[in-house]
Amino acid sequence: MNQKERYESAKEIYAKIGVDTEAALAKLQETRISMHCWQADDVRGFEGTGTLSGGIQTTGNYPGGARNPDEVFADLDKALSLIPGTHKINVHANYAIAEPGETIDRDTIQPRHFKRWVEFAKAHHCGLDFNPTFFSHPKANGLTLSSPDEEIRQFWIRHGIACIRISEYFANETGYPCVMNIWTGDGSKDVPADRLGPRMRYADSIDQILACGYDKSKVYVTVESKVFGIGVEAYTVGSAEFALSYAMTRGITPLMDNGHYHPTEVVSDKIPALLVFNDKIALHITRPIRWDSDHVVAFDDETREMMKEVVRCNALDRVFLATDYFDASINRVGALVIGMRNVQKAILNALLTPNEDLKKLQDEGDTSRLLLLQEEYKLLPLGDVWNEFCARNNVPGGACWYKEIQEYEKNVLSLRK
Ligand code: RNT
Ligand code: ZN
C-alpha cells in the first residue's frame, strides 16, 4: 500500500470508532507550537559573555552548534523546513543583535535589536514569543528580580520593561499575540534565613514591570515556576505556589514547565485544574529525566497525556504551547525537529481519540470498558494519519527526513570549527 492508501484505510478504521481524521488533520494544521530558539546554540545567545547561569545546564559537546545569528537562523530555517505546519519562534532576550560597534546591555535592548528575528518570522509566516533573560549575566550572580540590592533589582526591572516593549513590537509586526515569559533562577543553594523577603520583592518587581502599561490583547505575560536548579537546591523564590498565586491575583497567565515539578508530579493533571480558573495557561514542553534535564521531547506517556488534556478540555486555543529543552549531545537541528514533531504527534493522537465516548463511559461508571478501550486505542494506525499530515505539508513523513539532517551536518554543521 502506498501512503494515500494507508491513510484511506486508517481513515476508515478511525471512522468506525466515530473519529473524523479530516477534522483532526484540520485542527492540527491550525495548531501553532512555539519552537524555542535556544536549542540551536545551547542557550548561549549573541552576547558573547560566556557561561550559562541560573541553575540550568546543557550537557554534551556535539560538534556544529550555532555560533552567531547567521548560523542560528540557518539552523532554525532547516528545522522548520522539516516540521509540518506553521508555528511560532520563541526568542530569548540574550539573542539581541547589536549594530557593529554598538554596546547594549539587558536594560537597554530595544525592538530594533530584534529586527532580524521579525524578518525571519515574517519570511516563515511565524509568530514570535519572547523571554526576558534573567541569567547568564554579571548582575545575575545572585538574586535578580528578588535581589535585596535595590540597584540590581531595578536593573532587572528595567530589563523586564524593555522586554515588554519588544514583545509588543513582535505582536505588532507579526500580527500574532506574543507570550512573554518571566522565569528567574533566583534562589539559594543552602537553607535560607528568609524565604518571605525575596518573594515579596519578586512580586513587587513583576508588579513594577507590569505597571509600564501594555496591550493585554497583544502581549500575554506568563510567570514560570520551578522547584529547584543546579546550585539552587534549597530554595526557589518563584516556586509553584508563588508563580500560580502571582499570576492569578494579577490577571496574567501561569506557565507550567513539565520539568519543574517533583518527579512523580504530572503536569497533565495540573492542566485541567488550572483551566477551571484561568482563561489562558501556558506550557513549556520538555522531558525531564530524574531532574529538569531538558532532554528532547519524546512521544512518551506524559507528553501524550498532557496533549490529551489540552484536547479533551477543548482548550487548544487556551493553552500556549512551547517547547523548552537543550540537549548538546546530539545533532541540535535534529533535536529541534524530533521534539517539535513529537509534540505534534501527541496532539494528533489526542485528536484521534473518541474523547466524548470515553468521558461518557467514565460518567456511567463503566471503568472496565474505559480501561479496555483506552488501551486498545493505543494500537490504532496513528502513524498513517501522521504521514498524511506530513505529506500534505510537503514535509517528509516517517524517519526519512533525517537524511536531510545528515546532509546538513555534512555540508554545514561540520564546517563550523
Ligand atoms: C529553566 C526554565 C526556562 C528556561 C528558558 C531558557 O528551568 O525552564 O524556561 O529553560 O528560559
Ligand atoms: Zn521552561
Question: pLDDT per residue over 70-117, tens digit each?
Answer: 999 999 999 999 999 999 999 999 999 999 999 999 999 999 999 999
Using the 3D structure, point to which of 351, 377, 401 is the last residue of a domain.
351
Q: Ligand 1, atom 6: nearest CA belongs to which residue?
A: 43
Same domain, 344 and 389: no
Q: Give the DSSP H/E element, type plus range, for residue 170.
A: helix 150-174
Q: Please report which ligand is nearest the Cα atom of 323.
A: 2
For 296-325, what is each residue's pLDDT tens digit?
999 999 999 999 999 999 999 999 999 999
Domain assignment present for residue 25? The answer is no
Using the 3D structure, point to which of 313, 334, 351 is the last residue of a domain.
351
Is residue 401 part of the annotated active site? The answer reads: no
Is residue 260 part of the annotated active site? The answer reads: yes
Domain assignment present for residue 371? The answer is yes
Would the pLDDT of 184 be above 80? Answer: yes
- CA 364 to ligand 2 centroid distance, Å: 38
Q: Which domain holds residue 265?
A: 31-351
Same domain, 261 and 372: no
Is residue 36 part of the annotated active site? The answer reads: no
Q: Which residue has the cell 463511559?
A: 361
Same domain, 108 and 206: yes
Tell me how far apart the alpha carbons of residues 122 and 114 are, in angstroms, rounded to a whole number. Answer: 13
pLDDT confidence of residue 48:
87
Same domain, 412 and 287: no
Domain assignment present for residue 22? The answer is no
Tell me how far apart the alpha carbons of residues 133 and 93 are, in angstroms, rounded to a whole number. Answer: 5
Domain assignment present for residue 172? The answer is yes
For 107-165, what is each residue's pLDDT tens digit?
999 999 999 999 999 999 999 999 999 999 999 999 999 999 999 999 999 999 999 99
235-236 and 187-188 beta bridge pairing? antiparallel
- CA 324 to ligand 1 centroid distance, Å: 7
Using the 3D structure, point to which of 336, 351, 366 is the last residue of a domain.
351
Domain assignment present for residue 343? The answer is yes
Same domain, 131 and 231: yes
**Protein residues whose CB sits closer than 6 Å to any atom of ligand 1:** 38, 43, 56, 92, 131, 183, 224, 226, 257, 284, 292, 324
For 15-60, what is each residue's pLDDT tens digit?
999 999 999 999 999 999 999 999 999 999 999 877 899 999 999 9
138: cell is 554579571
For 265-279, what is each residue's pLDDT tens digit?
999 999 999 999 999
Q: How confident is the model at residue 375 (pLDDT cuts 50, 70, 90)?
A: very high
Domain assignment present for residue 103? The answer is yes
205: cell is 518587581
Same domain, 396 and 301: no
Same domain, 259 and 387: no
Strand partners, 221: 180
291-295 and 287-289 beta bridge pairing? antiparallel
Is residue 204 part of the annotated active site? The answer reads: no
Q: Which amino acid is present at 238? A: G
Same domain, 76 and 11: no
Domain assignment present for residue 26? The answer is no
Query: Helices (DSSP H) in 299-354: which residue ranges?
Result: 301-312, 332-351
Same domain, 203 and 60: yes
Question: Which of 94, 324, 325 has most ligand 1 atoms within 8 Å of its beta carbon, as the pocket-test mutant?
Answer: 324
Tell me how far apart the alpha carbons of residues 333 and 341 are, in angstroms, rounded to a whole number. Answer: 12
- pLDDT, average across residues 204-228: 98
Q: How confident is the model at residue 282 (pLDDT cuts 50, 70, 90)?
A: very high
Would the pLDDT of 357 be above 90? Answer: yes
CA 378 to chain centre: 26
DSSP-derived 3-state class of residue 292 = strand
Q: Residue 324: CB partners within 8 Å, gap ≥ 6? A: 36, 90, 257, 259, 284, 285, 286, 294
Would the pLDDT of 239 be above 80? Answer: yes
209, 148 Cβ separation under 8 angstroms: no
Q: Which of 75, 129, 309, 324 is catalytic?
A: 324
Is pTM beyond 0.85 here?
A: yes
- CA 238 to ligand 1 centroid distance, Å: 12
Tell me how far apart the alpha carbons of residues 373 and 364 are, in angstroms, rounded to a whole number. Answer: 15
Domain assignment present for residue 401? The answer is yes
Same domain, 169 and 233: yes
Q: Ligand 1, atom 1: nearest CA belongs to which residue?
A: 56
Nearest alpha carbon to residue 16 among 299, 357, 305: 357
How many domains, in total, are found in the chain? 2
DSSP-derived 3-state class of residue 100 = coil
Going through 42-176 in order, the beta strands assigned E by DSSP cover 88-92, 127-131
- CA 396 to ligand 2 centroid distance, Å: 29
Same domain, 254 and 182: yes
Radius of gyration of the chain (CA): 22
Atom of ligand 1 nearest to the CA of 257: 8
Same domain, 341 and 384: no
- Domain harbouring 193, CATH code: 3.20.20.150
Query: Helices (DSSP H) in 188-320: which residue ranges?
Result: 196-210, 240-250, 267-275, 301-312
**Mean pLDDT of the residues in the chain:** 97
Question: Which of 37, 44, 52, 56 has most ligand 1 atoms within 8 Å of its beta carbon, as the pocket-test mutant?
Answer: 56
pLDDT confidence of residue 51:
86
Q: Which amino acid is present at 215? A: D
pLDDT confidence of residue 49:
77
